[in-house]
């Protein structure tokens, strides 16, 4: 049942007045993508107020202008929670010195990230081509996976950093290919001017959508993790029940038609239950994926002699570490998923 705008406003005001002084302020950022749309849906459906009241927190969900600006706001503390990929959680957040904790494994890209080439139909046809992409992000990681799988490397292509949308760049005469994620990927393919030569369905389980919070804030109040986890799994329950209103709202919030949004959902592998997410977080496979991501970032740091990124470590739920164990900056905390599994939220 959807709440009217006036009723939701009154509830939010009541919650604000009834919150104890010093209640944790949760500032969560998202950008349009199937794996992130649970958050704006939860806001519109009144789920934030429900769980805020139980845990004594105040959750604010903010739409960012673009993915990279969302990460920058997290790194500077404007946001303290963010929907991001595992690749960028390490390289764009932790490696820049921000101590961050993954509290939710939400979904995986199974075709929502891809490489589009104007002339050619195979990855091998990228050889010598000019490719626009946001370098040092999940797109860069996927491109490297594609090249490696076809016995190529960065020296076989010409990469141009494009940190904003690659959609306008694709029309330029001197751009041969782009690497993009949805919804930009769909917009580019809809022009009919290029061919999809590789997508994330060819590297299943490697691009994972996670919820990351600032570790310092989580330490101040574990209720932050409890509230966000409870909200997430309530939305997952709505999705599993196939309520058409859920997808209607998500599509509208993402700026897509319902048909296009459904296509994006089909290319997204959701961990609908805490049991499934918990198994992934604790799996040997996830450690292997994060090892591959760590190797990618280590290679980029050496190749470009980056002084801005630190040699950091990852702490897994079982206490195992990866990378620099003396400088842990990314933590995978399965506690809240476990609480959800045991119906203790």
Tell me the CATH number at 22.
3.40.190.10
Pick from 202, 224, 250: which residue ends a domain? 202
Question: Mean per-residue pLDDT for 340-344?
Answer: 97
Instruction: Say yes or no: 185 and 224 in one domain.
Output: no
Integer angstrom CA distances of residue 113 from 44, 60, 182, 203, 258: 27, 28, 6, 10, 19
Instruction: Say yes or no: 73 and 217 in one domain.
Output: yes
Residue-level pLDDT at 22: 64
Instruction: Say yes or no: 337 and 243 in one domain.
Output: yes
pLDDT per residue as tens digits for the range 50-75 = 999 999 999 999 999 889 999 999 99
| Averaged pLDDT score across all residues of the chain | 91
Instruction: Say yes or no: 191 and 268 in one domain.
Output: no
Is residue 59 within a helix (H) or strand (E), and if so which, with residue range? strand 57-63
Q: Do residues 135 and 161 lie in contact, with contact meaning Cβ atoms separated by under 8 Å?
A: yes
Instruction: Say yes or no: 99 and 236 in one domain.
Output: yes
Q: Which residues of 128-162 are buried (b: 16+ CB within 10 A; e: fewer)?
A: ebbbbbbbbbbbbbbbbbbbeebebeeeebebeeb
Instruction: Say yes or no: 212 and 235 in one domain.
Output: yes
Which structural domain range is residue 180 located in? 113-202
Q: Do residues 235 and 37 lie in contact, with contact meaning Cβ atoms separated by under 8 Å?
A: no
Pick from 202, 227, 253: which residue ends a domain? 202
Q: Rounded distance, CA 112 to CA 84, Å?
A: 14
Q: Which of 96, 178, 195, 186 is nearest to 142 (CA)?
A: 178
Instruction: Say yes or no: 214 and 92 in one domain.
Output: yes
Residue-level pLDDT at 304: 57
Instruction: Say yes or no: 92 and 237 in one domain.
Output: yes
Query: DSSP label at 93?
Result: I
Q: State yes or no: pLDDT of 89 exceeds 90.
A: yes
Burial (CB < 10 A; 0-12, 13-18, 19+), residue 90, is: buried
Question: Mean per-residue pLDDT for 267-276?
Answer: 96
Instruction: Give the model's confidence band at 215: pLDDT under 50 very low, under 70 low, under 90 confident, else very high.
Output: very high
Domain count, the chain: 2
pLDDT per residue as tens digits for the range 223-266 = 999 999 999 999 999 998 878 899 999 999 999 999 999 999 99
pLDDT exceeding 90 applies to what percent of the chain? 84
Instruction: Give the model's confidence band at 2: pLDDT under 50 very low, under 70 low, under 90 confident, else very high.
Output: very low
Torsion sign over Cα 81, 35, 182, 130: positive
Q: Rounded distance, CA 115 to CA 185, Å?
A: 8
Pick from 202, 232, 250: which residue ends a domain? 202
Instruction: Say yes or no: 52 and 133 in one domain.
Output: no
- What's the pTM? 0.90
Instruction: Say yes or no: 211 and 281 in one domain.
Output: yes
Q: Rounded distance, CA 114 to CA 163, Å?
A: 16
Instruction: Give the model's confidence band at 106: pLDDT under 50 very low, under 70 low, under 90 confident, else very high.
Output: very high
Instruction: Say yes or no: 126 and 93 in one domain.
Output: no
Instruction: Say yes or no: 140 and 264 in one domain.
Output: no
Residue-level pLDDT at 65: 87
Omega prior to 183 cis, within 30 of 0? yes
């Amino acid at each position: 049942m959807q709440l009217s705008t006036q009723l939701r406003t009154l509830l939010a005001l009541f919650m604000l007045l009834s919150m104890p002084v010093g209640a944790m302020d949760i500032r969560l950022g998202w950008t349009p993508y199937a794996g992130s749309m649970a958050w704006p849906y939860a806001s519109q459906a009144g789920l934030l107020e429900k769980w805020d009241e139980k845990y004594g927190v105040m959750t604010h969900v903010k739409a960012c202008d673009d993915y990279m600006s969302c990460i920058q706001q997290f790194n500077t503390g404007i946001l303290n929670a963010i929907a991001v990929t595992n690749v960028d959680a390490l390289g764009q957040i932790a490696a820049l010195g921000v101590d961050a904790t993954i509290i939710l494994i939400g979904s995986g890209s199974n075709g929502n990230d891809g490489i589009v080439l104007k002339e050619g139909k195979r990855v091998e046809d990228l050889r010598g081509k000019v490719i626009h992409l946001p370098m040092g992000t999940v797109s860069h990681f996927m491109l490297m996976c594609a090249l490696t799988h076809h016995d190529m490397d960065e020296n076989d292509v010409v990469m141009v950093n494009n940190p904003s949308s690659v959609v306008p760049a694709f029309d330029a005469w001197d751009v041969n290919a782009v690497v993009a994620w949805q919804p930009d990927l769909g917009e580019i393919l809809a022009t009919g001017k290029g061919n999809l030569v590789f997508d994330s369905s060819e590297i299943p389980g490697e691009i994972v959508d996670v919820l990351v919070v600032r570790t310092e804030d989580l330490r101040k109040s574990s209720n932050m993790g409890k509230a966000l986890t409870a909200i997430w799994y309530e939305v997952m329950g709505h999705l599993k029940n196939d309520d058409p209103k859920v997808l209607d709202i998500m599509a509208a919030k993402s700026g897509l038609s319902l048909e296009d949004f459904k296509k994006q959902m089909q290319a997204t592998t959701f961990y609908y239950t805490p049991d499934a997410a918990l198994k992934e977080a604790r799996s040997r496979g996830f450690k292997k994926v994060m090892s591959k991501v760590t190797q990618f970032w280590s290679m980029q740091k050496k190749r470009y002699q980056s002084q801005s990124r630190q040699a950091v470590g990852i702490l897994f739920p079982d206490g195992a570490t990866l990378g620099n164990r003396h400088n842990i900056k990314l933590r995978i905390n399965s506690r809240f998923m476990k609480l959800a599994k045991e119906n203790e939220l």
